[in-house]
Amino acid sequence: MTSEEKSLQGAIRIQAGERFHLRAPIHERFGGAKYAGISPSKKGFVLAFTSPVGNDHGYVDGWAEDRSLFFYAGQGQTGDQTLDRKQSNGRNNDALLRHQESGRRLVVFQGLPDRVYECMGEFRCEGHTMVDGVGTDGEPRKVIRFELRPIPASGDPEADQPTSDRETLEKRASALLKNGLSEEPPKGNPSPKRGKKSEGVGGFIRDPKVVAWVLREAEGMCEHCGDPAPFTSASTGMPYLEAHHVVTLGEGGADTTANCVALCPNCHRRCHSSMDRDVVVSALYASVDRLEGTAISNPLTD
């Protein structure tokens, strides 16, 4: 991507939920061809358009069950779809697949009735598979199924990155919960370090993906007492639970899903402050299958 494209890209706003009448105003802002389903732009974007009408043309798009990925069919209505850049459809498919390599941002738009288009937000392509499909000519063919992951619309350029600031950690975890997570547990960090006190944040650097994944896995139930979360979180709209490291970070615990549980506020305080906290820790190891290792003496801090 050229320096001019980078400059144009940085000045353009992406707002999930924003609606446009016709495609013309979309292309006025983002660039790209007005009639292609996948439209690379000289302003630093790849635009992808989806619509239920696409089913009539051999395109079947839709969310994974947990909404962590959006499956998007490649371009090309008949014959096997391709990534061959020598073909116009293949060139656009390749542009979507490699948008991160080229420095382009991927934005998806949903077609609605009355020629309205709604911005679904920014995504990143994490790969593709070839699946069986049918073209507009009724003939069987191979269709590219791109795997697109939504990027949290938090306004935070490091929305899924570790941080030592508790408020930032909570905001990033909330955004991840609202915008989708991988089914696979995040790697986390087996040996987290403290942030720099000179920056005003001396806590441990924690991964918001670990927090969000553990909270989602609990499905609204405290992983110690088994009771439902006491209320609904205003920031996520989900049952309110708190992430707790069974072996605390201050005593050498890992910031991973194998050392983290989701607890109601009462059980969380019990893990830190009660006289029987060792009993609670032992019960967690016995009941939560993903936990690994054994407790280190008397966990008193996160």
Domain limits, the chain: 3-150, 166-287
DSSP 185: P
Kindly report the backbone phi and psi dihedral angles of residue 116, in degrees, each rounded to the nearest multiple of 5, phi listed first.
-100, 140
- How much is the pTM? 0.54
Contact predicate 229/219, CB 8 Å = no
- Report the amino acid identity of residue 90: G
The pLDDT of residue 300 is: 40
- Tell me, what's the pLDDT at 158? 64
Angstrom distance (rounded) from CA 92 to CA 87: 9
Beta carbons of 120 and 63 less than 8 angstroms apart: no
Beta carbons of 33 and 39 less than 8 angstroms apart: yes
| Fold of the domain spanning 3-150 | PUA domain-like (2.30.280)
Tokens, residue 211: 């927090």
* pLDDT less than 70: residues of the chain: 1-10, 54-58, 152-158, 179-180, 197-202, 293-302
